[in-house]
Amino acid sequence: MRQLRHRRLTAVVALATLLVTAAPPTAASAGAGAKPERAGFHRVGYFTQWGIYGRAFPVKKLDTSGAASRLTHVNYAFGNVSEDGRCYVDGGPGEGDAWADYQRPVPAEESVDGIADAPGQALNGNFGQLAKLKAKHPELKVLISLGGWSWSTYFSNAARTDASRKAFVASCIDIYLKGNLPGSPGAAAGVFDGVDLDWEWPNWEGEPGNVIRPEDRENFTKLLAEFRRQLDGYGRTTRKHHPLTAFLPANPATMDAGYEGRKIFKYLDFATVQGYDFHGGWDTVTNQQSALRVPRGAPDNPDFSAEVAIDGWIARGAPRNKLVLGIPYYGRGWTGVSGGGNGLFQPATGPAPATFEAGYEDYKQLKTLAGKGYTVHRDLRSGHAWLFDGTTFWTYDDPAVVLQKTLYIRQAGLAGAMMWSLDGDDDNATLTKTIGLGLTTW
């Protein structure tokens, strides 16, 4: 049985390798003419507001790379929550980027339809490009993701009372679904189909400074109920269903502190589950950041893994068919690694140097390291891979690992895959296409 399992996993690696080495698509096959792969599983990709800058990842790349035709949902990261519990868009430093969201005139070479934005028109920026992307891919749903690691500070205020919940939800629907941007009423109407709640985390420590209350656990459920009520009410005017989703943690202790297990899924279309950041440069020993299963010999007991996270939610009453597994398009790294061997579970001096943030590197950069002093190592049983050059160690998901995870999603009866974030993929959307292949309904 063990030999049979090894042969199956080896076949996964071989098939994924074919994906990597396949010729890039033509512009026609990658763009609007590509056959959608939307039946069955959810394929949810986060598009980051800031990706248009240093990562040079405009909305257009979702179309030209072929990613858009493999996705069912795009979550736009992020929308902010004010101290008085309202959705808002603002150009203040650290509070928002209205220029990127809807003000920046997008030049023709970055535009989905090849037509440049006119300065001062009603809708520019990423929001305008998402509207054009949806015109090319009409089955694609776009959700505004609220919060995230940096902007979950005041979620507790918004969720605290019946009145605050009603006001908060109304403000979010007004700005994002009705499209009432500052100075441009209705300009963004139709860009967003629904809402993704990325509260990190109710009644649990997230970014320092977050407001946390014990009643967050019950209030999160009540907030979902209010979103569902108002989204359904708005849907009666648009004659559409407006999706509601949430991003949920991998840590069982966080699950218990902040969420009422089974109750929350009454209101959610589905939930995406954190499948990454299990370990990183904050640890003094190299480790996996996104393994499918806890590896043998792991120094921490208990430890985190994708399977631990999914099983944790199922044990708390989550329906399998509403759980979407998160897959990282980046790796976590350490340097100053000693102890020899393949580098795994060895002492390190700190996070590895990287392009934007020490210890964090996009897949499209990590894929270039193989064969350039780095060796690719795999644990097929546990479902993870890493790069090691004798000093620097990177744990990451390559196409072989991603394909193995899609097989797990199918076998476990889950709802699909989520990707953080789309700008970490290469120009051929290799990881997104791998997920599309693995989750195609045959």
- Write the pLDDT tens digit of every residue in 160-192: 999 999 999 999 999 999 999 999 999 999 999
Q: What is the pLDDT of residue 109?
A: 98
Q: What is the pLDDT of residue 94?
A: 87
Under DSSP, the state recorded for 289 is S
Q: Is the pLDDT of residue 78 over 90?
A: yes
Q: Is the pLDDT of residue 379 over 70?
A: yes
Spatial contact of 343 and 335, defined as CB atoms under 8 Å apart: no
Which range is least confidently modeled, 83-92, 194-203, 349-358?
A: 83-92
Dist CA 425 CA 185 (whole Å) = 35
Dist CA 13 CA 401 (whole Å) = 8
pLDDT bucket at 228, cuts 50 / 70 / 90: very high
Q: Which residue has the tokens 């089955």?
A: 139
Looking at residues 298-320, what average pLDDT do you find?
Answer: 97
For the chain, domains (ranges, CATH) are: 2-331+401-438 (3.20.20.80)
Query: Residue 262 CB: number of other CB atoms within 10 A?
Result: 12
Q: What is the pLDDT of residue 278?
A: 98
218 is catalytic: no
Looking at residues 218-223, what average pLDDT do you find?
Answer: 99
Q: Which long-range contacts (CB under 8 A, 24 or more apart) does 5-8 make?
A: 5/381, 6/380
Residue 408 CA from chain centroid, whole number: 18
Q: Is the pLDDT of residue 36 over 80?
A: no
Q: What is the pLDDT of residue 30?
A: 33
Spatial contact of 359 and 305, defined as CB atoms under 8 Å apart: no
Q: Is 319 exposed, middle or buried (0-12, 13-18, 19+ CB in 10 A)?
A: middle
Q: What percent of the chain has pLDDT over 90?
A: 89
Q: What is the pLDDT of residue 120?
A: 84
Can you give the pTM of this predicted structure?
Answer: 0.92
Q: Is the pLDDT of residue 434 over 90?
A: yes
Residue 144 tokens read as 């505004």
Q: Is the pLDDT of residue 385 over 90?
A: yes
pLDDT bucket at 18, cuts 50 / 70 / 90: very low
Q: Is the pLDDT of residue 155 over 60?
A: yes
Q: Is the pLDDT of residue 357 over 60?
A: yes
DSSP string, 313-336: HHHTT--GGGEEEEEESEEEEEES
Q: What is the pLDDT of residue 337?
A: 98
Of 95, 109, 139, 200, the active-site residue reads: 200
| Closest C-alpha among 139, 174, 144 to residue 47 | 144
Q: What is the pLDDT of residue 442?
A: 59
Q: Which residue has the tokens 């505004």?
A: 144
Spatial contact of 422 and 329, defined as CB atoms under 8 Å apart: yes
